[in-house]
Amino acid sequence: MNPPEEDDDLPSLDALEGRLRRELAHIQGDIESIVKHDGEHPGDQLDEALDSNVVRIESTVSDLRRALDRLARVAPVDLSRVARKALDTLLLKFEKPLVLHVTWDESLPHPAVSAEALNSVVSRMMNLVTRYLMPGDQVTVQTLRDEDEAVLSLIVAPSDPWGRPVWLDEFTLRCRSLGDFIEELGGRFVLDTQDLLKLQLRLKLGVGVH
């Protein structure tokens, strides 16, 4: 059984969140303009702007409903393919020099999970790591099978192994939030900050494994 086809025209959850925030900011601006007129009619131009903003919000809410429907779909998903796509997207906008080692297990069984949720988790995980990378850091990205789990592993070997990062507490806190999301997905998140920086997304292989 193959994963269900994705809605190609449906933006990611992160994109929808950003879109809704921008549209709500426009609505807030419209409300402030109305208040400034002390109850008087603000004019046709503001009427049209408000109508346009409302239409855009309704469209975004509709897309959010579709995204929620997609989140509910659970089917076998290729973790290596999801990770490869997320990494390719990230590297297109990444500007810091780094040493990158990548290994994909093409024979990795497919865990049964929401494809939309997995895409979001993997993207957040990679963005979290790259947010704190320093020039010269060595990064290893790989997928593998560990007994009854499919694993996405990110390992960072710092260019300065003797300096404890000042951002480590903030990073750990962000990882905790990501870990909570992964647990809701039915997986496990493992973090190790000793010597090397290691993050692992672990998904149980069971019913629906391919």
- What pLDDT sits at residue 105? 95
196 vs 101: CA distance, rounded Å? 15
Which of the four pLDDT bands, split at 50, 70 and 90, describes residue 141?
very high
Residues in the chain: 210
Lowest mean pLDDT among 42-46, 85-89, 206-210: 206-210
Predicted pLDDT at 39: 58
Query: How far is 55 from 58, CA to CA, in rounded Å?
Result: 5
Which pLDDT value is given to residue 55?
81
* 139 has pLDDT over 60: yes
Say what the pTM is: 0.65
> Pick from 26, 76, 93: which is nearest to 210 by CA?
76
Residue partners of 92: CB distance under 8 A and separation at least 6: none
H helices of the chain, where? 13-36, 44-71, 79-93, 115-131, 168-185
Report percent pLDDT > 90 for the chain: 31
pLDDT of 65 over the 70 cut? yes
From 4-13, 66-75, 121-130, the region with the lowest mean pLDDT: 4-13
Q: What digits encode the pLDDT tens for the residues 21-64?
A: 888 887 777 777 767 766 565 566 666 777 777 788 888 777 77
The predicted-structure confidence for 36-47, as pLDDT tens digits, reads as follows 766 565 566 666
Q: What percentage of residues in the chain have a pLDDT greater than 70?
A: 80
Mean pLDDT within 160-169: 70
In tens, the pLDDT along 101-131 reads 999 999 999 998 888 889 989 999 999 988 8
Tokens encoding 37:
């007129």
